[in-house]
Amino acid sequence: LTEDSNPTPLISFNEALQYFQTTDLGDLLKNIQPTIRRTGLAAIAHFLFGPPRLHRELLEERDLVFAIAQCPVDNIQTVHMRVLQTIYKRLIGTRLDCPRYGSHWENVGFQGTDPATDLRGTGFLGLMHTLYFVMDPETLPLARDIYKLSQHPTQNFPFCVMSINMTRIALQVLREEALSKECNRRQQVVGVLNEFYVATFLHVYQLWKNQQKTIADSGFVLKEVELFAKKNPKQMLRRLEVFLKERQAGGVPRGTSPDPQAPQPSPSLGERGAKAGTGQGSRGKEMHFTGVCDLPPDMEGEARLI
């Protein structure tokens, strides 16, 4: 990649979200399914013993989330392209723009030369969550740690495709209304879902690293994580809160091991991050990945890898 005298400026999560808030998504809203449709005894049991319903004033925000999850990548939209460029730059640690298509996308964990092909299961929301992860100064160090693990010679996995799976799990938990209580308490949906996505990724990271997981274990890991996330959303969010506080205090958070070579947090969002390795090891030579986009619609709630 050659030096670009006018590189695309980084985009914040809030700026990208504002774009969707001010864009007509009427056609996409027609196709969303924000809650699980229950009938008969299941509907009665959910009404009597299930989680509380989302407050009426939050329904529009919830529907926006599911509309974004229906939105494909549009090469004409400047915001879409800036989101892609920002994710690449923050993970790789460069200020240079990269081509829209090419094998360089595999370096950050997409399955091929076009990131859009991995997003059919979560739409643009899959990119929005990754953007949040790499642009929030509190979560950026964790994102780089996970990206570093994804490059491991034996424990490697495709970072961005795994991230999309975290978005899929978070969406399913929201759809099953397991996050409604926390959303009602904080009077927001997007912020809660963002944190739950990060909490889910943290859970996978700690399990993957400490238990020496590999791609061969990926299906079991995702199934276990999805079941745990649905049953323990409050605990997941609390674990993330404790992890970030301990890390900010300068200690080694529980569930991780010290790594003197781990990338350090960036002082500001505009500064160049620590360069992450781009070597792919033996990834992809023996395992064939199936993206969440390739799952049949009726399997959406099940845990599958990649």
pTM listed for this prediction: 0.79
pLDDT tens per residue, range 112-142: 999 999 998 899 999 999 999 999 999 999 9
Q: What is the mean pLDDT of residues 83-91?
A: 96
Amino acid at 108: V
Q: What are phi and psi of 265, to 5 degrees?
A: -60, 145
pLDDT at 281: 40
Q: What is the mean pLDDT of residues 41-58?
A: 67
Residue among 149, 132, 133 nearest 141 (CA): 133
48 has pLDDT over 80: no
**175 band by pLDDT with thresholds 50, 70 and 90:** very high
SS3 240: helix
Q: What are phi and psi of 7, to 5 degrees?
A: -65, 150
Report d(CA 139, CA 55) in Å as an integer: 28
Residue 174, both tokens: 């929201």
The residues, ordered by sequence, that sit 6+ positions from 126 with a Cβ below 8 Å of its Cβ are: 69, 118, 119, 163, 164, 167, 168
Report d(CA 173, CA 268) in Å as an integer: 32
pLDDT tens per residue, range 251-296: 656 555 444 333 333 333 333 333 333 334 434 433 333 444 343 3
The residues, ordered by sequence, that sit 6+ positions from 223 with a Cβ below 8 Å of its Cβ are: 302, 303
User: Which 3-state string (H, E, C) describes 172-214?
Assistant: HHHHCCCCHHHHHHHCCCHHHHHHHHHHHHHHHHHHHHHCCCC
